[in-house]
Amino acid sequence: MTAPLKVGIAGLGTVGASVVRLLARQRDALEARCGRAINVVAVSARSKGKQRGVDTASYRWFDDPVALASDPAIDVFVELIGGEGDPAKRALEMALSRGKSVITANKALLARHGLDLAALAEKHRVALNFEAAVAGGIPIVKTLREGLVGNSLTRIYGILNGTCNYILTRMEQDGLSFEECLKDAQRLGYAEADPAFDIEGHDTAQKLAILASLAFGTRVDTEAVYVEGIASITPEDLEAAEELGYRIKLLGVAVATGQGIEQRVHPTMVPKGSAIAQVMGVTNAVTIDADAVNEITLMGPGAGGEATASAVVSDIGDVARGVRTAPFGTPASKLQAIGRAPMQRHEGGYYIRLLAVDRPGTAAVIAARLAEQNISLESIMQRHRGPRPQGGDSPKSAAPVPVILITYATTEDAVRRALAAVEEDGVIAQAPQVIRIEKN
């Protein structure tokens, strides 16, 4: 009879406590599916006396997660502490060097030190599993690492941050400002008191860097990701997107190009008929373009105790079954240094919103600057006039006119050059709004 798999868990917050409960609730089913029992035998957290809704009295307690990681009585170390540095990093290194498989939900640690940790796991012939690090309960890591191993991938993109998707959903559905929706997200617990890491796109960038490594066999490199957040998005942009047949989502996109792997995070217009456009609220989704299966989309809860615990327990189950593969799908020594595709060379359609000065010749100047960069327009929309500026009582001081341009495929560099020239000409009243369009 196969001996039980002995698990040590570091971190008993929302996810850690949910993992303990889920393992207990599914104990018999897991044993039947995995061929052996899975037993939590030791835990570590900051405060032993804190009420967590789980009974830890039967587990050995460690104040120091590194000590737990080195405990010879555990087979698997589950790290749910968080943070890109110590003690999480030191604990993972300790567990792997002692020949213990590791399960982690720590995207920040993997984005910073994933290559070294993968090499250490491979050296000691143990698993390093991290399904819960990206997109919560969606099995995207296993899909890329194992399910699509017979495919060549060309693009992966998705909604990887529930906070941003919730804010954009509320702005679209209720016509509220970004600031109003952010406050509501904080009230509901979807956004942190300091939401910058989410709304500026950095959370999505870390997750995208991990997915790009799995998809394209490259080293994880967050520095290669171009990042924009959602704070500049206005109800006017969402209203225009609706009229044009699009929705605005914060996407993480990784694409194989002739210049290398293009990795970018930014607000994006997606066709309303696409699967990714239907994803609302705090839900996450990832779309994969592959040669044998064409396009597939996975969607589900991107956060929350139960959903994330589901991914952690799935990884534990793989260890119990004896499943072990290279953490990033390709052995660490064969992961390629990323060929960084410059954002200036990105090609695609663009939404451009200008607040044009209402005087003769303005449209001609804008058109001329676009033509100089060989930018062709698919459509032009002139919106209602904005409010008259203060002191603007005379006809000569008419309010600027909102103008929306949709371009055919062009380059980032061409758009930026044309708009810089338009600003220098003094024919717009504020900085242009630019949103990239991602086609199916």
| Contact yes or no for 244/350 (Cβ under 8 A) | no
Residues 171 and 119 in one domain: no
Given a cut of 90, whether residue 394 has pLDDT beyond it is no
Q: Is residue 86 part of a domain?
A: yes
Mean pLDDT of the chain: 94
207 is catalytic: yes
Segment 331-341, tens digit of pLDDT? 999 999 877 78
Residues 95 and 206 in one domain: no
Q: Residue 395: its pLDDT value, please? A: 44
Segment 221-252, tens digit of pLDDT? 999 999 999 999 999 999 999 999 999 999 99
Annotated catalytic residue within 142, 207, 396, 439: 207
Q: Which amino acid is at 197?
A: F
| CATH code where residue 176 lies | 3.30.360.10
Residues 204 and 76 in one domain: no
Q: Is residue 324 part of a domain?
A: no
Q: Residue 342: its pLDDT value, please? A: 86
Mean pLDDT of 274-289: 96
What is the pLDDT confidence band of residue 393, given thresholds at 50, 70 and 90?
very low
What is the pLDDT confidence band of residue 52, given thresholds at 50, 70 and 90?
confident
Say what the pTM is.
0.93
Residues 118 and 152 in one domain: no
Q: Is residue 349 part of a domain?
A: yes
- Rounded to whole angstroms, how far apart are CA atoms 29 and 165? 35
Which of 301, 325, 360 is a domain's end point? 301
Which of 301, 325, 355 is a domain's end point? 301
Residues 290 and 360 in one domain: no
Q: Residue 243: its pLDDT value, please? A: 94
Q: Residue 384: its pLDDT value, please? A: 60
Segment 176-193, tens digit of pLDDT? 999 999 999 999 989 999
Q: Find the angle CA(155)-CA(207)-CA(309) to the nearest 5 degrees.
A: 120
| Top-confidence residue, 255 or 47 | 255
- Rounded to whole angstroms, how far apart are CA atoms 328 and 349? 32
Q: Residue 387: its pLDDT value, please? A: 52
Segment 89-143, tens digit of pLDDT? 999 999 999 999 999 999 999 999 999 999 999 999 999 999 999 999 999 999 9
Residues 242 and 280 in one domain: yes
Given a cut of 90, whether residue 1 has pLDDT beyond it is no
Number of domains in the chain: 3
Residues 163 and 99 in one domain: no
Q: Residue 292: its pLDDT value, please? A: 95
Q: Is residue 317 part of a domain?
A: no
| CATH code where residue 126 lies | 3.40.50.720
Residues 282 and 361 in one domain: no
Q: Residue 397: its pLDDT value, please? A: 58
Residue range(s) defining the domain that contains residue 226: 140-301
Which of 106, 133, 160 is a domain's end point? 133
